[in-house]
Amino acid sequence: MADEKQQRVQTAANPGVDRREFFLRLGLGSMGIAAAGTAVFAYQFLSPNVLYEPSPVVNMGKPESYQLDSVTLDVDARIFVVHNNEGFFALSAVCTHLGCLTAWKPDLGIIACPCHGSKFAMFQPPGKKPGEKFDGPAPKPLPWLKMWLSDEGELIVDRSEEIRPEQFVRV
Ligand code: FES
């Protein structure tokens, strides 16, 4: 009876954790947090430091979606898809001066840059190849980009590959 009473008194004064065990748990907890932090930093350090850029190859869809004698600007891809009597071709829409996005001017039959006024041929002026610069500070023509027809019959453009002008995709 006296033992039982003494045990109850001990339990009330010492509710489960003594001083030594408390510091042991505190130490283990601190080491766990430090290990987790180290693991996070090690993972970040060992992960490849890579920028994931969009693919230069873009699918421009079915040829039937481009009318004859049309110039279609794809703002996201930053290219013009042109359909004329000779076939299809893709032209970069990025101005060769300082990289502004150029615009198709259907009333004039040319491509113009809104930033500093460079002008590039399309259907006008006569005698100029599409993409050729004829006015303004741009140092080079708008490049023709590699285009082909996929097995599924869609127009594919590789924006990283320039080609000689006047290579048309015939469908
Ligand atoms: S960026 Fe086009 S003319 Fe300057």
For the segment 131-150, what is each residue's pLDDT rounded down to a tens digit? 999 999 999 999 999 999 99
pLDDT score, position 1: 47
76 CA to middle of ligand 1, Å? Answer: 19
Q: Where exactly are the structural domains of the chain?
A: 2-46, 57-163
Q: What is the pLDDT of residue 32?
A: 86
Ligand 1 pocket residue status of 109, Cβ below 6 Å: no
**Choice from 78, 92, 95, 140 to test ligand 1 binding pocket (greatest atom count within 8 A of CB):** 95
CATH superfamily assigned to domain 57-163: Rieske [2Fe-2S] iron-sulphur domain (2.102.10.10)
Note the residue count of the chain: 171
Contact 95, 101 (CB under 8 A): yes
What distance in Å separates the CA atoms of residue 155 and residue 81, rounded to the nearest whole number?
9
Q: Cα dihedral sign for 25, 30, 31, 35? A: positive
Residue with the nearest Cα to atom 1 of ligand 1?
A: 98
Mean pLDDT taken over the chain: 90
- Residue 160, CA distances (Å) to 2, 65, 142, 149, 163 in order: 91, 24, 13, 17, 10
Residue 95 has pLDDT above 90, yes or no: yes
**Ligand 1, atom nearest to 98 Cα:** 1
